[in-house]
Amino acid sequence: MDLLRRAARTLLLADHLQRMETALGEGWRIALTDTHGAVVVGERPPAAGPVAATSPIRMDGVTVGDLRIAPPAETTETMAAARSWVETLARMIEALTATEQVRRAVTAEALDGYREIAQLHRATLELGASLRADDVAACLLAQFSGLSRVRWSAVYRHDDGDAPPRRLATYGEDAAALFSALEPAGLLALLTADGVDGIVNDLHRDPRLAAIAPHAGALMVVTLRSHGTGIGYLVLLAPPPSRFEAADLHRAETLASIGAAALHNAELFAAREALAQQILTAQEEERGRLARELHDDMGQNLLAIKLHLQQVQLDLDGAPLSPVIDGVSATIHDLRRILAGLLPASLQSTGLGPTLKGYTHTLAERCGLPVTATVDDFDRPPREIELHLFRIAQEALHNAVNHSGARQLRLSLQIKGRHIVLRVEDDGRGIDPRAVRGEISGMGLSTMEERARMIHGTFTIQGHPGRGTAVEVVTPLP
């Protein structure tokens, strides 16, 4: 539909003009015609020629139609009035359509703005959802796929020192090959050296580049800034004859700032995870060392003392050494218990299954609760997996004993497909969901989770109020 008809409809021009006709009095006729003379508004078009006064209607400087007013009689007076009216009305219609155009333009702009905000919102959610730097980089590039002009893109990360930037991710068909070709050519280094964002259009006219990347027409470089420091950059390429405009750069910079923050967070998360793992490893080494020393030195000494005392008792023929010997025996017993907690010797010798059976047996005796253990028979996994699964079982069992008020505990260690599944269940009060969310807790839950991650496993803990808690770790067999 043409502009004049659309404006006539939205502005209810038919109503307005009819009212004017009535106001002018009997016999006055008003009509609006398009540039071909077809009637847009007005039932009876007033005849052209000297009987009617006409005025063109312009929109955006273009004539879109004519307004005509015919008086009831062709007197000097009525013709002068008609001319004056037609001018006034025509200018009024033009003003109205201009406002209408403004309104439409504003609405379109607001819609664009809304779309952009919605896209940014989506991008923020998506970027915040990944915790691995590579995933964040890939997700950032995917955000640009909606920009029709961008065909290939890459994220680069500066490392400390003078090392060349590392490419974290690429997007687009054969993008990896394209960027691999561009990197040695030094072009990217040149463009990104000064850390200023910018656009280079008409790349295909550059003969040096035409040989390497004949499909590259326009290029945009945007710095990834986190806390004011450039941590890398984003390269976006479009095929000719596309050109990047300032608005593209602006949008890319906004997305890049969200991406940089997400990237930084993912890296902090990875660093935190690495640190937690280092601490756990150091802790295990220290426990092993302590256990060995206690066993080899103290344990052997205590045993020697006990034997010596027994000999003395025999030699002295009934001297009252029994209480001392009993004391030493009790100390040896305590030491064994401490050693079993620090690092059960059986974990190394017989493996995880038998160790868990023995451990649950001792625990049942100590806490007076039935603890059943179902353990599949399978080849021993690597030491690391055995150690972490043992620690997780140990913590889960202790939590059940200390926090659940259960009447019964169950442990199972099973093979399902190519996975080991460890499960510890109790029939107690059911863990508080706030503890599961990490809002209230000690270190136990987070350490179990961290250990599961160290062996590439998943950790879940589920509580049902009044019906117990289940901890499960599923870890792949190597």
Tokens at 137, concatenated? 């980089």
Least distance to ligand ADP, CB of residue 459, Å: 12
Q: Which residue from 262, 400, 420, 452 is in contact with ligand ADP, where contact means CB under 6 A?
A: 400
Say if strands 218-226 and 458-464 run parallel, antiparallel, or are unpaired.
unpaired
What are the φ and ψ backbone dihedral angles of 353, each rounded to 5 degrees? -55, -60
- In the list ligand ADP, Mg ion, none, the entry touching 400 (Cβ below 5 to 8 angstroms by class) is ligand ADP
Least distance to ligand ADP, CB of residue 363, Å: 14
Can you tell me the distance from the alpha carbon of 447 to that of 276, in angstroms, rounded to the nearest whole number?
9
What are the φ and ψ backbone dihedral angles of 459, each rounded to 5 degrees? -120, 130
Least distance to Mg ion, CB of residue 395, Å: 6
Can you tell me the distance from the alpha carbon of 153 to that of 145, in angstroms, rounded to the nearest whole number?
9
Q: Which residue from 17, 431, 454, 455 is in contact with ligand ADP, where contact means CB under 6 A?
A: 431
Least distance to ligand ADP, CB of residue 397, Å: 9
Question: Binding of ligand ADP at residue 426 (CB under 6 A)?
Answer: yes
Can you tell me the distance from the alpha carbon of 124 to that of 259, in angstroms, rounded to the nearest whole number?
8
Q: Which residue from 429, 453, 462, 476 is in contact with ligand ADP, where contact means CB under 6 A?
A: 429
Q: Which is nearer to ligand ADP, 91 or 429 (CB)?
A: 429
Least distance to ligand ADP, CB of residue 367, Å: 13
Q: Which residues of 83-107 are buried (b: 16+ CB within 10 A; e: fewer)?
A: bebbeebbeebbebbeebeeeeeee
Tokens at 72, concatenated? 């009831």
Q: Which residue from 192, 346, 394, 469 is in contact with ligand ADP, where contact means CB under 6 A?
A: 469
- In the list Mg ion, ligand ADP, none, the entry touching 197 (Cβ below 5 to 8 angstroms by class) is none
Can you tell me the distance from the alpha carbon of 167 to that of 181, in angstroms, rounded to the nearest whole number?
13
Q: Which is nearer to ligand ADP, 107 or 446 (CB)?
A: 446
Which residues of the chain form contacts with Mg ion (CB under 5 A)? 399, 444
Least distance to Mg ion, CB of residue 473, Å: 15
Can you tell me the distance from the alpha carbon of 156 to that of 170, in angstroms, rounded to the nearest whole number?
9
Q: Specify whether the backbone of 238 is left (phi greater than 0), alpha (psi in -120 to 50) or beta.
A: beta
Contact 392, 422 (CB under 8 A): yes
Least distance to ligand ADP, CB of residue 437, Å: 11
Q: Which is nearer to Mg ion, 40 or 448 (CB)?
A: 448
H-helix or E-strand containing 156?
strand 152-157
Nearest to 391 by CA among 352, 431, 418, 428: 352
Question: Binding of ligand ADP at residue 214 (CB under 6 A)?
Answer: no
- In the list Mg ion, ligand ADP, none, the entry touching 123 (Cβ below 5 to 8 angstroms by class) is none
Residues between 436 and 465 that touch ligand ADP (CB under 6 A): 441-445
- In the list Mg ion, ligand ADP, none, the entry touching 204 (Cβ below 5 to 8 angstroms by class) is none
- Within 8 A by CB and 6+ apart from 49, the residues are none
- In the list Mg ion, ligand ADP, none, the entry touching 157 (Cβ below 5 to 8 angstroms by class) is none
Name the closest residue to ligand ADP (Cβ). Answer: 444
Can you tell me the distance from the alpha carbon of 458 to that of 452, in angstroms, rounded to the nearest whole number?
6
- In the list Mg ion, ligand ADP, none, the entry touching 155 (Cβ below 5 to 8 angstroms by class) is none
Nearest to 233 by CA among 141, 180, 157, 168: 157
Q: Which is nearer to Mg ion, 402 or 458 (CB)?
A: 402
Tokens at 266, concatenated? 């993912």
Question: Binding of ligand ADP at residue 291 (CB under 6 A)?
Answer: no
Residue 275 CB neighbour total at 10 angstroms: 10
Q: Which is nearer to ligand ADP, 254 or 408 (CB)?
A: 408
Least distance to Mg ion, CB of residue 377, Å: 30
Residue 286 CB neighbour total at 10 angstroms: 11
Could you tell me the CA-to-CA distances from 103 to 107, 110, 168, 175, 192 in Å, in that order?
6, 10, 45, 43, 42
Per-residue contact track with ligand ADP, 340 to 379, x per CB under 6 A?
----------------------------------------
Q: Which residue from 175, 389, 435, 455 is in contact with ligand ADP, where contact means CB under 6 A?
A: 435
Question: Binding of ligand ADP at residue 432 (CB under 6 A)?
Answer: yes
Q: Which is nearer to ligand ADP, 386 or 427 (CB)?
A: 427
Q: Which residue from 371, 428, 451, 454 is in contact with ligand ADP, where contact means CB under 6 A?
A: 428
Can you tell me the distance from the alpha carbon of 254 to that of 122, in angstroms, rounded to the nearest whole number?
13
Contact 414, 421 (CB under 8 A): yes
Question: Binding of ligand ADP at residue 393 (CB under 6 A)?
Answer: no
- Judged by the rule CB under 6 A, the positions of this chain that interact with ligand ADP are 399-400, 403-404, 426, 428-429, 431-432, 435, 441-445, 469
